[in-house]
Chain A
């Protein structure tokens, strides 16, 4: 359950806020380009224990139909999920 990414529109002078406050949860860029390795969930192994969901620093794992699912737009490939998974259901693979 993440905030959505805004469509890229030309950002004009008029859109710049006049004071220092702005809308919360306003995302315009993804972090996927940071990754050199990516976590891949082996669904047949995953038991949906949610440990990886708890410990992901970026909050990009959710559980869908009892299985871990990763939002690759924002996963940075840190590998914490793969280490935390006791049954080894997450493997780290090289990004192409």
Chain B
């Protein structure tokens, strides 16, 4: 039985034997992207879960060339890797970064902005697990409203994080980047197609992929893929692209699934009351008003 997506990527594994928790969404994103890019991908990973679980000397789980960067320096190291290999005469390679949400939207945003500004020929992938997971679940700029983390605890008066999630996709797009996209590991064929597309475009590419963390989200390890699907189906995340100055929506749920059901499945949201859920639902609806009025729709 032919599986079109499986046929389109390498049979080889490039991220194997890693020490990520069982069911880790970030490791699925890294694994899938490397199977698209192949053995000539040179990957850069800042401090964060994916470097922590991939490089435990002497257990080195990347079988392509890979390097750990400073926490803030994913994009600047990608710039250097690309320039260095080009100067050495290499042609057939892809410089790709895998940074967390903290590493991207907070500490690494300046280096990323600089790389996009120079239009360096790199792919930057943010695997978004919505908190600083490797240091024990602290709030980042991409932690959604209401989520409980160790720095945004849920108490009687304040119900977890009081700030909304930054929109990194549109921040990248606002640089007029050649290609930016959102994705989710719940829709893996879409993510894989976007990584493939990015690899064929010259200049800076940014892909933002939702990658649930069962440990930090408070879901069972076997729920990672479903919850990553549900965040899209409930309209709290969306699959889109930015190219040639235009936004395109790739997937339009016919009817949104329940926001409450999505939230209440997860330990980090279980404390939310009806008012909180209403705030979240209203902000979703506002977002979709914007999407429906200014994004083109590519789908069926």
Contacts and interface: CB of A to CB of B under 8 A. Distances in A.
B201 to A, nearest CB: 24
Find the residue from A53, A55, A66 having the highest chain B CB count within 10 A: A55
A53 B18 CA distance: 17
A32 to B, nearest CB: 11
A59 B31 contact: yes
B93 to A, nearest CB: 14
Contacts of B224: 57, 78, 80
Nearest to A35: B22
Nearest to B192: A54
**Contact size range, A:** 35 or more
Nearest to B10: A1
A13 interface: no
Contacts of B12: 1
B283 interface: no
Contact of A24 (B57, B62, B223, B226): B62
Interface in A66-94: 66, 74, 76-80, 82-84
A57 B17 CA distance: 10
Given A25-B62, A78-B23, A54 B16 contact: no
Interface in A1-49: 1-3, 5, 11, 22-31, 34-35, 47-49
A13 B62 CA distance: 24
A91 to B, nearest CB: 13
B1 A77 contact: no
A93 B224 CA distance: 20
A84 B225 contact: yes
Interface string B27-64: 11001100000000000000000000000011111111
